[in-house]
A and B are shown apart, each in its own frame.
Chain A
C-alpha cells in the first residue's frame, strides 16, 4: 500500500527495480482477479497481461501516485476485458477447473458464505475483496474500479445487504 513510484522513468529500463516494485503487489492482484473471474488460469492470465501493460506503461505513472492503485486498476480493467472475451468464446473444452482447497481451507471453509458470494456479481465480489482482504479505503477502491467514492460506499452497503440476504435464501440446486 505504501509503495510509490517516485522516479518511474528510471524504472522501465531496470527489470530488477520493476520486479522489486511489482512483486509484492502480485498476490493481492491475483486475489482481485480471482474474485472477478473465479478461475485460477484466467486470473493468472489477467494479472500476467496487466503486468506486461504495467511494464510498458510505467513511465506514464504520475509521480507520487500509488503504484498499487494504478496496477490494481489495470488488473481490474484486464479482468473486464477477459470476461467480455469469455462471454463470446464458449468452448466445450473450456471446462471450469475444480476449486482446490488445502486442509486448512477445508477446516476454515464457510460454505454458506461461498454460496452467497456466488450469487454476487464479479464487481461486487471484487469490491468486497478490496475492502476486506486488501483493507483499502473507499477512495482507493474508487480509483481502481473507476467509480466515485460515494458510489463505492453505497455499493459496499448494498453488496453486504445482498450478501446477507443471500445467506438466508433457499439454496438453488443448479447454482
Chain B
C-alpha cells in the first residue's frame, strides 16, 4: 500500500496550492535585495512584512508587579565592556564551561539575563558578529520556552527574548539554552547551562508627571538594573488608534490584540554620553475601549553609564524629558 501512496503523493504535491503565483519568484529576489539594503532598527517580528505587536489582556493583571532579576557577584571577562560585565550579575553560571559553547569555531558566551513579568531576555556575546540566531529555546523544569524575538549586530552582542519564566521569579532555576544558526551549513548548535532567579529590584524614584504637548504622561515605575532600563508610564490624551495606527482586536482564545503600523508615541533613553540605548521591547497594556489613555512598558538594553535621560515624544511632535538612575 505504501508503494501505491508514492505516485499519489507526487501528484498531490504538484497541484496548484504547492505552486507559487505567476511572477512571484521575480519579486522575491528583488525584494530580498531591497530589504537587505534597508537599515533595521527594531526586532524582527514574525513573517516578512508583518511587524506585529501582540498584547495580551493578561498584561492587565501584571501592571505594577515588581521587576525581578537575579543577582550574583560580578565576574568581568577581559573582553567584556563595563555594561556587559555588570550584566553578569544577573545570572549564576553553573560551571566554568556552562556559560560558553563553541560550534564549528563560533563561540557564544552568556553575558546576562533580565527577567520580569513580561519576558525573559538573555544577552549573549559571540566571537562572530554575523551569526544568525534564528532558533533558540530555553528549557527549565521540564518546560520549553521558545524564542519570541532576537536582536543582533550590537558589537557582537545578541539579545534573545523569551516568555516570562514565572518560577524563576520566586526561586533560582537551572536552565538550558539551546541556540541554532539556521544560516550556517551544517547548522551551528550551541548549548549553554546556567541558573536564573529572583531579586526584587530596589525602588527607584519615579519621575514626576508632565506633558508632551496635549499628551499627559504619568510614570508608573522605572528600573535601572544590570543590562536593562525598564520604564512604565501611562499617557492620556490619545487613544490606541492615534498612538498605534490600525489596531485589530481578537476575542478568540482570550482577549488579544494584534497591532500593526508605526508607533506615534516615541520613547527614547539616552545614557550619560548622550548615546541612545538600544530599544528591546514595548508592551502596550490594555485600556478600556475608546479610552484616551494608553499604558506602555518599555525595556532598553543598558549599554552605557547613567544617569539616563528619558525622552517621550507624542504624536504631535512635542516631547517630555526626565532623568533617572545614576
Contact = CB atoms under 8 A, between A and B. Distances in A.
A77 B35 CA distance: 19
Interface in A40-82: 40, 42, 44-49, 51-57, 60-62, 65, 69-70, 73-74, 77-78, 80-82
Interface in B29-86: 29-33, 35-36, 45-50, 52, 54
A134 to B, nearest CB: 9
A26 B17 contact: no
Contacts of A108: 11, 15
Contact of A82 (B2, B5, B47, B182): B47
A42 B251 contact: no
A94 B146 CA distance: 22
Given A26-B25, A91-B258, A129-B13, A80 B2 contact: no
A19 B1 contact: no
Contact of A91 (B10, B180, B256): B256
Interface in B1-30: 1-2, 5-6, 8-21, 24-26, 28-30
A44 B29 contact: no
Interface residues of B, number: 59
Interface stretch (B184-192, B210-218, B285-293): B184-192
B18 A52 contact: no
Given A45-B48, A92-B250, A26 B28 contact: yes
Contacts of B19: 27, 30-31
A141 to B, nearest CB: 14
Contacts of B1: 164
Contact of A128 (B9, B46, B49, B180): B9
Interface string B93-134: 000000000000000000000000000000000000010101
B52 A81 contact: no
Nearest to A130: B13
Nearest to A24: B25
A27 B29 CA distance: 12
Contact of B29 (A51, A60, A99): A51
Contact of A80 (B18, B135, B186, B248): B135
> Which of A18, A35, A54, A90 counts the most chain B CB atoms within 10 A?
A90
Given A26-B28, A129-B18, A52 B35 contact: yes
B148 interface: yes
A173 interface: no
Contact of A110 (B6, B11, B47): B11
A102 B184 CA distance: 38
Interface string A81-124: 11011101111111000011110110011100110010000000
A52 B185 contact: no
A107 B25 CA distance: 27
Contacts of B49: 45, 48
B20 A44 contact: yes
Interface string B214-235: 0000000000000000000000
Interface of A: 15, 18-19, 22-23, 26-27, 30-31, 34-35, 40, 42, 44-49, 51-57, 60-62, 65, 69-70, 73-74, 77-78, 80-82, 84-86, 88-94, 99-102, 104-105, 108-110, 113-114, 117, 128-129, 132-133, 143, 146, 160-161, 163-164
- For the complex of A and B, the 6 pairs showing the least CB-CB separation, nearest first, are A77-B182, A45-B47, A133-B13, A51-B32, A85-B46, A57-B183
Given A73-B187, A82-B47, 7 more contacts: A22-B29, A23-B26, A57-B132, A60-B183, A62-B185, A133-B18, A143-B186
13 contacts: A15-B33, A18-B32, A26-B25, A42-B47, A52-B31, A52-B48, A61-B185, A73-B187, A85-B45, A92-B250, A93-B258, A133-B9, A133-B14
